[in-house]
Structure 1
Amino acid sequence: MSTNDCKTVRPDLSAFHDGELASGQAATVAKHVESCESCAAELSSFRSIGSVFAKTPVQAKPADLWQQIERELSTATEPVTPSRRFATWVRESPYGAGLVSTAAAVLVLLGAGLWYGEERGGAKELGSGEAMAMHGSDGHTHEGENAMSAEHMVPGGTPHDHMAQFAGVMNDYLQKLPSDPDAAEQMLLSKYDGETVDSDGAVKLVGYRPIVSSGLPAGYSLESTSVLKMPCCTCVKAVCKRDDGSTLVLFEHDDEEAAWFGNRPSSIAMCGEKNCCLVDLDSSIAATWKQGSRSVTAVGVRDQHEVATLVTWLDKS
């Protein structure tokens, strides 16, 4: 199992341990852990932290506990603040030691959580799993993204709500794409302030030249290029046609999240020389892979072989 597989799986180990992953993603993590000692050891550490609480002894409460507390309060010779009262109770209580042990376990868990959060933040350019991308991997802010984030947010919603709404829009798009690609494209252009551009126009809006500007593999032609202000980031969308007239769409974007497609089954596979996240779209698949400082998501791909063809070609362009 390659280092790239570990980088992809490791950020999801905590959610996997807590049972928070979708079934397809959970199966992918479980399969990886079976053959990777490093990730298996990290998963075991999460389980060990949880067992600290289960093993912490808590002595039985004395029957005259409240009588003891009342006697202590009635004999106090100075004002007793809540903090002083609690400290005295912990020190003299027969199960105060158990409470201290539990507090120590909580501190251990919090420390592990902070470390894990920093690790996850380093592995991904975005913060929490579905935070909205405001900056590119090269550190600059793309023109129009700040305006987009306010314009397309659901009033009063959280970043999670916005990405959930985005996944719903993408689901509608995926349903339209096979039978009416023109209507599907117009829907996205209308929804996310799309602007049809050439390569130079894209540079002015996103700060880079689209990867398709160097050409496509044999059997494909470029139909159109546009820039969309989507909730994840401002991205470049390239509509491509196969020789048989069918449609393939390439999104070039700054975020690495797979939340575009909701809870659809996904897996990690080697395509060409890159690790790709493959998502089942019923009649086709979507594939996301890292391309330089950005990511590319191909929608409407027929199979893993076609993904490998695109990855290999674009990697050389």
Structure 2
Amino acid sequence: MSTNDCKTVQPYLSAYHDGELSAGQAATVAQHVEACDSCASELQAFVSLGSAFLQAPLPAKPADLWQRIERELPTSAGSLTLSRRFSIWVRESPYGAGLVSMAASVLVLLGAGLWYGGGRGGDREMGSGGAMAMHSHEGEDGMSAEHMVEFAGVMDDYLQKLPSDPDGAEQMLLTKYDGEKVDAEGAVKLVGYRPIVSGGLPEGYSLASTSVLKMPCCTCVKAVCKRDDGSTLVLFEHDDEETAWFGDRRQSMATCGDKDCCLVDLDSSIAATWKQGSRSVTAVGVRDQDEVAKLVTWLNKS
């Protein structure tokens, strides 16, 4: 696991512990933590922190607490603001001391959480006025850690839906990333180039639809292709070479046709990414390496 993968996941460990991530995001984080002792240790720190907070003793609150506060607020011949009178009461009253003790305990726990959640390795820096500013890590392609994790989570949801409900999966991406269905000329107007599938597809495949998506990595062209048996294959044509679309899924390099391809295990299928001219192509739902080679060879000729 590379350092960049850890930096991508670490900002989300607290939200993962609290159950605040989407299903796809949670799956991405869980898969990484399972294979990474460092992040697993940090996640355990959040578990311990939550347990300590729940077990921290809190002073008993008398039923007439606020009436006592009002009676005990000091009076003076001079003019005292309410906040000034309250500060004197906190300093002199046993109830005020109890509240201060409780607040101090909470602040200590929160401080520990900040340290575990992002204070190591230079993840924080001092902002204006001495305030602590949290900065999102950025991947090599400039996509922030937040977007990288979210994107991997969305793609994971998409991949799970694609085999059984391809139409629903496509609609999910179109809605999420402002997708617009286009023809070849419409794509040129939006992205500046003709989709690679506009030259046709190999025998046994037909083009079902073409659309343009504004994804976090770039604005890309997505082509939904159908095999003769009705199954779905999707081609993404994009400017970046990032293969981290699929989180921590197992990857390998292979030669497909005359291209070096990054192959990603998608359980029941694979994804493949390769350079095609000045852009990259990612094929999702490919059956095997031979099918990748078939697509690469055809697209080289088109």
The TM-score bracket by the shorter chain reads 0.5 to 0.7
Equivalent residue for 1:250, pick from 231, 235, 246: 235
Residue deviations 1:46-101 (CA, integer Å, cap 9, x gap): 33443452354433346885565344336333444343244234323231222223
Structure 1 counterpart SS, 2:60: coil
Structure 2 counterpart SS, 1:268: coil
> Residue 102 of structure 2 aligns with which residue?
98
Equivalent residue for 2:250, pick from 266, 269, 288: 269
**Distance in 2 of aligned mates of 1:17 and 1:30:** 10
Q: Which amino acid aligns with 1:50?
A: G
Q: Which amino acid aligns with 1:249?
A: V
**Distance in 2 of aligned mates of 1:301 and 1:240:** 11
Identify unmatched segments of 5+ residues in structure 2.
125-132, 255-261
Q: CA deviation at 1:250?
A: 1.1
> Residue 39 of structure 2 aligns with which residue?
39
**Distance in 1 of aligned mates of 2:264 and 2:243:** 12
Is 1:205 the counterpart of 2:190 in the alignment? yes
**Distance in 2 of aligned mates of 1:51 and 1:122:** 32
> Residue 148 of structure 1 aligns with which residue?
none
Q: Is the 8 A contact 1:25 1:267 kept in 2?
A: no
**Distance in 2 of aligned mates of 1:196 and 1:173:** 25
Equivalent residue for 1:193, pick from 164, 167, 180: 180
- Classify 1:195/1:105 alpha carbon distance in 2 versus 1 (closer, same or farther; 3 Å): same
> Residue 58 of structure 2 aligns with which residue?
58
**Distance in 2 of aligned mates of 1:259 and 1:110:** 29
Structure 2 counterpart SS, 1:249: strand
Q: Percent identity?
A: 47
- Classify 1:202/1:113 alpha carbon distance in 2 versus 1 (closer, same or farther; 3 Å): same
Structure with the greater alpha carbon radius of gyration: 2
- Classify 1:237/1:81 alpha carbon distance in 2 versus 1 (closer, same or farther; 3 Å): same
**Distance in 1 of aligned mates of 2:290 and 2:20:** 29
Equivalent residue for 1:235, pick from 220, 238, 248: 220
**Distance in 1 of aligned mates of 2:275 and 2:11:** 20
Q: CA deviation at 1:227?
A: 4.5
- Classify 1:87/1:75 alpha carbon distance in 2 versus 1 (closer, same or farther; 3 Å): closer
Structure 1 counterpart SS, 2:249: strand
Higher relative contact order structure (alpha carbons within 8 Å, sequence separation ≥ 6): 1
- Classify 1:82/1:277 alpha carbon distance in 2 versus 1 (closer, same or farther; 3 Å): farther
**What is the aligned length?**
258
Is 1:175 the counterpart of 2:159 in the alignment? no
**Distance in 1 of aligned mates of 2:221 and 2:197:** 10
Q: Output the TM-score relative to the length of structure 2.
A: 0.54
Q: Is the 8 A contact 1:287 1:299 kept in 2?
A: yes
Residue deviations 1:114-152 (CA, integer Å, cap 9, x gap): 95895655247257559999xxxxxxxxxxxxxxxxxxx
**Distance in 2 of aligned mates of 1:78 and 1:257:** 70
Residue deviations 1:266-317 (CA, integer Å, cap 9, x gap): 9722243758484x7xxx6574879899986544433xx449947x969xx8
Q: Output the TM-score relative to the length of structure 1.
A: 0.52
Q: CA deviation at 1:236?
A: 0.6
Q: Is the 8 A contact 1:286 1:297 kept in 2?
A: no
**Distance in 2 of aligned mates of 1:89 and 1:54:** 28
Q: CA deviation at 1:196?
A: 1.8
**Distance in 1 of aligned mates of 2:204 and 2:165:** 22
- Classify 1:118/1:3 alpha carbon distance in 2 versus 1 (closer, same or farther; 3 Å): same
**Distance in 2 of aligned mates of 1:2 and 1:308:** 30
Structure 2 counterpart SS, 1:248: strand
Identify unmatched segments of 5+ residues in structure 1.
134-162, 179-183, 261-265
Q: CA deviation at 1:24?
A: 7.2
Q: Counterparts in 2 of 1:88-167, with a 5 A limit?
A: 88-92=88-92, 93-95=96-98, 96-109=100-113, 112=117, 118=134, 120-123=136-139, 125=143, 128=146
